[in-house]
Amino acid sequence: MAVLLLAEVTDGTLNMDATAKAVTAAKALGDVTLLCTGESCAGAAEEAAKIDGVEKVLCAEDALYGHRLAEPVAALIVDLAGDYSHICAPATTDAKNILPRVAALLDVMVITDVSGIVDSDTFERPIYAGNAVQKVRSKDATKVISIRTSTFDAAPAGGSAQVETIGAGTALGLSEWVEDKVAESDRPDLTSAGIVVSGGRGIGSEENFEIVEKLADKLGAAVGASRAAVDSGYAPNDWQVGQTGKVVAPDLYIAVGISGAIQHLAGMKDSRVIVAINKDEEAPIFQVADYGLVGDLFELVPELTEKL
Amino acid sequence: MKVLVPVKRVIDYNVKVRVKSDGSGVDLGNVKMSMNPFDEIAVEEAIRLKERGAAEEIVVVSIGVKQAQETLRTALAMGADRAILIVASDDVHTDIEPLGVAKLLKAVIDEEQPGMVLCGKQAIDNDMNATGQMLSALLGWSQATFASKIEIEGEHATVTREVDGGLQTIKVKMPAVVSVDLRLNEPRYASLPNIMKAKKKPLDEKTPGDYGVDVAPRLEIVSTSEPEARKAGILVGSVDELVDKLKNEAGVI
Ligand SMILES: Cc1cc2nc3c(=O)[nH]c(=O)nc-3n(C[C@H](O)[C@H](O)[C@H](O)COP(=O)(O)OP(=O)(O)OC[C@H]3O[C@@H](n4cnc5c(N)ncnc54)[C@H](O)[C@@H]3O)c2cc1C
Ligand SMILES: Nc1ncnc2c1ncn2[C@@H]1O[C@H](COP(=O)(O)O)[C@@H](O)[C@H]1O
C-alpha cells in the first residue's frame, strides 16, 4: 500500500517534529511518499528526505502554494491521489483546513485527529472532547486521515529518500493571502516542547502572565493558556490548549490558575506528569494532576521559579 | 445577500459524557441537548451582518432527528428568518457524517442560492472539523476556516483565521463558506418575546430523499470506549515538596 503524506511546511521551513511524528503513523500503513509544497520548499524537501522510513519526497514549488491556501493545495493532492491508498497529514490547522476538502473532492469521508492505527482501514480517534474513543473502519477506496501528533513518537533521522520536483496545478483564483501575524519567540514550540507551563483566568491580567512566562523560561518550557485566558486577552490565541486549541503531551505540564474544564483537559490529559497550582482545592484539575499544590499562585509560582 | 447557517443539535457542552457499557456509543438518552456552541457564533455573526445591512435573509438548516426542531427554533429566536429541517434519522444516536451533511447542504444551497455559508468550525460531539471544508469543495467555492474576524466588501470577504502560528488573514471570493471560531463574537440570548415570535417563523421539514442524497455512512463504528483514566495523584504541602517530587520521584526536571 502507498501513502501520500503532506509534510508540514510553513513559509519554506519544514516542521520536523509534526512531520516526523506523522511519518511514524503513516509507516504503519504502507510506503510513505512525502509531499512538500510552498513558494519555495526545496530546502524543506531536502530536510524531509532525511526522515527514516520516507521512500520518496515530492516537491511542488510554486507561488500558488505560498501560504498553503486550501483550494490550490487540495487540488494538487487530488491530482496525485490516484497512486495512493492513503492520504495523510499531521493534524495541524493547515491540514485541518486542507484534508476535508481533498476528501470531499474524492467523494470519501475524512477521518480527522487519528490517535491510533489498528490496521490499514481501521482507526481510533477521540470524540466528545476526548471523553470517548471511537474505533472506525473505513469503507472508502482512499482513506484521508489527519494524525494527532501528540500520540506518536517522531520517526528518527537516517533516511535518504529521493526528491522529485513536480509541476504546479492551475490557479483557481478563489482566495488570496493578505497577511500573517506570527509572534516571534525563542521559546520551544508548544506542541513539541518537553515541558509546558500554562496559565488560566486565575492569572488575572496580561501583565501578570509574566509570572507564568518566568517559570516557563526557568524550565526552558513552552507557554500555554486556557481559553478563558486567551478570551480575556491575557495570552495570544496560538497558546490555547484544549478541545479547540492545541493538543499537547509533554513530559511535564504545569497548569496555573486553570480550573480544569473538560475542554481544557482534552488538550493536555495525555501529558506524562501533570502539576496543578490552584487556590480552590475542589478544582477539577486536581483530579488529573499527579501533583497538586493548593494556594495562591501569586505566592507559589514565584517561589517555585526561584527554587528550581 | 442571503446567508445560510447550518446548525447542529449536540450534547450540551456542560454535560458529563457517559460511554455505554456495551461499547456501542455515548449515552444520549435523557441528556440535555443544545445548539453546537460554534453554530451559535455563526448564527450571531449572520444576524450582525443583517443588522449592518450586509445580509437580507438568514436561513438556518439542521440535519438529524426530528428534535433538531428545537435547535432551529433557538436560531429563529436569536434572529434567523427561516428554517429547514432535514430529518435523516429517527434515532438520536445516529450521527450523519460530514460528507453526507455536506451533500445535503449542497442540495439546499443549489435551491436557495445563498451568497455565503457561515458554519461552525467543529461539532463538539464528533469533533470532526470537516463539514465546512467538504461543503466548500462540493460547491467549488472558496473557503475560510476558523474565522475570528469577517469583513465583507462587495465581491470579496476578508477573513482573519486562527492558525497554529497565530493569525492569518485571507481574502476570499464570494460566494464563500466560512467556518467560525470561538473568538468571532459573543452570541446573544433570545429574549422571551423573540422566542414567542420564533414559533411563527417558517420551518420546512424535508428528508434526504427529497434531495436525492444518499447519507449512508462510509465509516463503520466498530466500538466506542472510555479513554484510559489517569491514576489519582497527590496533594503536596509546599513548593519544596513539589520540587523534590518532580526531581526525585517523577524525574521530569
Ligand atoms: C465549544 C467550547 C470549546 C472550548 N474549548 C476550549 C479549549 O480548547 N481550551 C480551554 O482551555 N477551554 C476551552 N473551552 C472553555 C472551557 O469550558 C472553560 O471555560 C475554560 O477552560 C476555563 O478556563 P480557566 O480554567 O482558565 O478559567 P476558570 O474556570 O475561571 O478557572 C480559573 C481558576 O483559577 C483559580 N484561581 C483564581 N485565582 C487564583 C489564585 N490567585 N491562585 C491560584 N488559583 C487561582 C480558580 O480557583 C479557578 O479554578 C471551551 C468551551 C466551549 C464551550
Ligand atoms: N447534522 C448537521 N446539521 C447541521 N449542521 C451541521 C451538521 N453537522 C455539521 N454541521 C455544521 O458543520 C459544522 C462542523 O461540523 P463537523 O464537521 O461535524 O465538526 C458544525 O458546526 C455545523 O455548522
Do A15 and A135 lie in one domain? The reply is yes
Residue A6 sits in the same domain as residue A130:
yes
CATH code for the domain of A277: 3.40.50.1220
Rounded to an integer, what distance in angstroms lies between the CA atom of residue A77 and that of residue A85?
13
Dihedral, A74, A77, A81, A83 alpha carbons, nearest 10: 180
Whether A181 maps to a domain, the answer reads no
**Ramachandran sector of residue B41 (left: φ over 0; alpha: ψ -120 to 50; beta: rest):** alpha
Q: Which residues of A touch B226 (CB under 8 A)?
A: 131-133
Domain annotation covers residue A149? yes
Residues A51 and A124 in one domain: yes
> Containing H/E element for B173?
strand B166-173
Q: Which of A116, A149, A165 is the last residue of a domain?
A: A165
- For B:31-90, CB contacts with A below 8 A are none
Residue range A107-146, pLDDT digits in tens: 999 999 999 999 999 999 999 999 999 999 999 999 999 9
Per-residue confidence at A183, pLDDT binned at 50, 70, 90? confident
Q: Is the pLDDT of residue B120 over 90?
A: yes
Q: How far is the CA of A227 from the centre of ligand 1 (A)?
A: 6
Distance CA B176, CA A274 (A): 42
Question: Are residues A148 and A62 part of one domain?
Answer: yes
User: How far is B8 from B130, CA to CA, in rounded Å?
Assistant: 13
A160 and A219 inside one domain? no
Instruction: For residues B232-246, give the mean pLDDT.
Output: 96
Which structural domains are found in chain B, ordered by start? 2-225 (3.40.50.620)
Q: Which domain CATH number covers A81?
A: 3.40.50.620
CA distances from residue A27 to A52, A104, B178 in whole angstroms, order as listed: 10, 24, 34
Q: Indicate the number of domains in chain A.
A: 2
Same structural domain, A229 and A140: no
Taking the CA of residue A137 and the nearest CA in chain B, the distance in Å comes to 5
Average predicted confidence (pLDDT) for chain B: 97
pLDDT in tens, A207-237: 999 999 999 999 999 999 999 999 999 999 9
A175 lies in some domain: no
Collapsing DSSP to helix, strand or coil, A157 comes out as strand
C-alpha cell at B245: 517530587
Same domain, A204 and A114: no
Tell me: do A237 and A125 sit in the same domain.
Answer: no
In Å, what is the CA distance from A8 to each residue of A106, A149, A298? 22, 12, 39
At A170 the pLDDT is: 87
H or E element, residue B243 = helix B239-244
**φ, ψ (nearest 5 deg) of residue A162:** -80, 140
Q: Higher model confidence: residue B29 or residue B119?
A: B119
Within a domain: residue A131? Answer: yes
Structural domain includes residue A248: yes
* Inside any domain, residue A14: yes
Of residues A127, A179, A236, nearest to B127 (C-beta): A127
| Interval B223-238: pLDDT, tens | 999 998 888 899 999 9
What's the pLDDT score for residue A232?
97
Last residue of a domain, one of A122, A148, A165: A165
Residue A69 structural domain: 2-165
ipTM of the complex: 0.97
